[in-house]
């Protein structure tokens, strides 16, 4: 059945180890993606490679480490990347469109909706959206870190039916198969637990930023939003289509039984917190297991400056993340009522917008 699919391809698959684009690889993946469109699927491509494509072109001897150098390399490399995609897709009668996104484009719901509408129109017209992080303007504090996370957010935003994350490993193993010949590949994983994370390695290749752990993070985001995920290889003809049909060279990740509505997805994975609340053990238990709202009496301390309606992170006394929520007080007002009972809050403030610091309906658990 035709469906909407997001395919993420990393830097190491598109560029040479020394830097610069691998023209044959881009031609190959364009052909594989074109095959999906011929089967009736709507295809979105999340493509890394701008920095790796550009750093040699402007004279850097190796992939840059400083932010302004990466941004300069990306400014050159992104143009080269899109030029190559345009030519490769044109050979199959397809048009590619460039979409550059930042974390702010997701945290601002109006901008996210605008991006979503643009993508919808491109798909309607049979265009292949080629999406990348806007490295030239992104700052370290707000960067996705890798395009694995970006691909998951895009998949959830456009309500894709599939997310395929391509890598040089054919899925997740019980151990590193390059070191342990007894390692066994997982065909399907129903839940991404701490034990599963423990099987993931560290960073990725010298030209990319993403390792298996970042891909698991992406799979967790996507599956909680109702999008099944495939992580693996598709560097042979027809493998991408086989991955889409469920028998690819990798590991499948099933969707969660209870998927999150878009508002909760935005709150948990797309929003940018303006502050942090530290809560006591009782409040943590009430939020995690009791289905309750967060009251002032459960707040021990706070950090940051925020307004009523902003998103804040909630942590326990051990500085472990519990979740996120939309706060009903500004930081100045909340500072005066931390630890107070409901009666004390009413006595101190009189009439209030809401008694809860965070209402249960405006909360998502992330622990």
Q: Does a structural domain hold residue 28?
A: yes
Closest to 326 in 3D by CA, of 349, 306, 342, 344: 306
Domain termination site, one of 263, 289, 314: 263
**Contact yes or no for 331/299 (Cβ under 8 A):** no
Give the number of domains in the chain.
2
Q: Does a structural domain hold residue 268?
A: no
Q: Is 179 annotated as ligand-binding?
A: no
Cα distance between residue 323 and residue 149, in whole Å: 18
Tokens of 288: 């995690």
Q: Is 215 annotated as ligand-binding?
A: yes
pLDDT value, residue 320: 96
Q: Is 339 annotated as ligand-binding?
A: no
pLDDT value, residue 143: 66
Domain termination site, one of 263, 289, 312: 263
Q: Does a structural domain hold residue 142?
A: yes
Q: Are residues 310 and 256 in the same domain?
A: no
Q: Is 310 annotated as ligand-binding?
A: no
Q: Is 149 annotated as ligand-binding?
A: no
Closest to 147 in 3D by CA, of 255, 238, 74: 74
Q: Is 40 annotated as ligand-binding?
A: no
CB atoms within 10 A of CB 246: 12
Q: Are residues 186 and 315 in the same domain?
A: no
Cα distance between residue 205 and residue 212, in whole Å: 11
Residue 195 maps to which CATH number? 3.40.1160.10
Q: Is 167 annotated as ligand-binding?
A: yes
Q: Is 48 annotated as ligand-binding?
A: yes
Q: What is the dihedral of CA 169, 174, 177, 181, to 10 degrees?
A: -150
Cα distance between residue 235 and residue 215, in whole Å: 18
Q: Is 280 annotated as ligand-binding?
A: no
Q: Are residues 278 and 254 in the same domain?
A: no
Q: Is 319 annotated as ligand-binding?
A: no
pLDDT value, residue 107: 92
Q: Structural domain of residue 216, as residue ranges?
A: 4-263
pLDDT value, residue 204: 44
Q: Is 211 annotated as ligand-binding?
A: yes
Q: Are residues 105 and 251 in the same domain?
A: yes
What is the mean pLDDT of each successive set of 10 residues along the chain, which is 367 residues long?
Answer: 93 88 97 97 96 93 90 95 98 98 92 97 98 84 75 97 94 89 94 90 45 92 96 96 94 86 93 96 95 96 96 97 97 95 90 88 93
> What's the pTM?
0.88
């Amino acid at each position: 059945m035709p469906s909407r699919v997001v395919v993420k391809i990393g830097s190491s698959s598109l560029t040479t180890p020394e830097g610069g684009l691998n023209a044959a690889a881009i031609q190959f993946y364009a052909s594989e993606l074109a095959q999906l469109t011929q089967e009736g699927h709507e295809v979105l491509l999340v493509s890394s490679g701008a920095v790796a494509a550009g750093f040699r072109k402007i004279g850097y001897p190796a992939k840059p480490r400083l932010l302004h150098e990466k941004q300069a390399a990306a400014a050159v490399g992104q143009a080269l990347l899109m030029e190559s995609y345009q030519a490769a897709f044109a050979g199959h009668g397809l048009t590619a469109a460039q979409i550059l996104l930042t974390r702010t484009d997701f945290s601002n719901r109006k901008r996210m909706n605008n991006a979503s509408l643009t993508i919808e129109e491109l798909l309607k017209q049979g265009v292949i959206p080629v999406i990348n992080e806007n490295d030239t303007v992104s700052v370290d504090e707000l960067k996705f870190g890798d395009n694995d996370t970006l691909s998951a957010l895009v998949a959830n935003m456009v309500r894709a039916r599939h997310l395929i994350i391509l890598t040089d490993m054919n899925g997740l193993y019980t151990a590193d198969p390059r070191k342990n010949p007894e390692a066994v590949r997982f065909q399907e994983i129903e839940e991404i637990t701490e034990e599963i994370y423990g099987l993931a390695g560290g960073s990725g290749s010298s030209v990319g930023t993403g390792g298996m752990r970042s891909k698991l993070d992406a799979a967790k985001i996507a599956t909680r939003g109702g999008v099944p995920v495939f992580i693996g290889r598709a560097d042979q003809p027809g493998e991408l289509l086989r991955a889409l049909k469920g028998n690819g060279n990798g590991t499948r990740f099933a969707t969660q039984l209870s998927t999150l509505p878009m508002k909760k997805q935005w709150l948990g994975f797309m929003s940018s917190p303006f502050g942090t609340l530290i809560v006591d053990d009782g409040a943590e238990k009430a939020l995690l297991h009791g289905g309750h709202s967060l009251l002032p009496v459960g707040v021990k301390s706070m950090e940051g400056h925020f307004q009523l309606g902003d998103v804040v992170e909630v942590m326990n006394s051990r500085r472990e993340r519990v979740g996120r929520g939309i706060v009903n007080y500004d930081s100045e007002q909340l500072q005066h009522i931390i630890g107070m009972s409901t009666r004390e809050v009413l006595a101190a403030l009189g009439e209030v917008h809401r008694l809860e610091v965070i209402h249960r309906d405006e909360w998502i658990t992330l622990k």
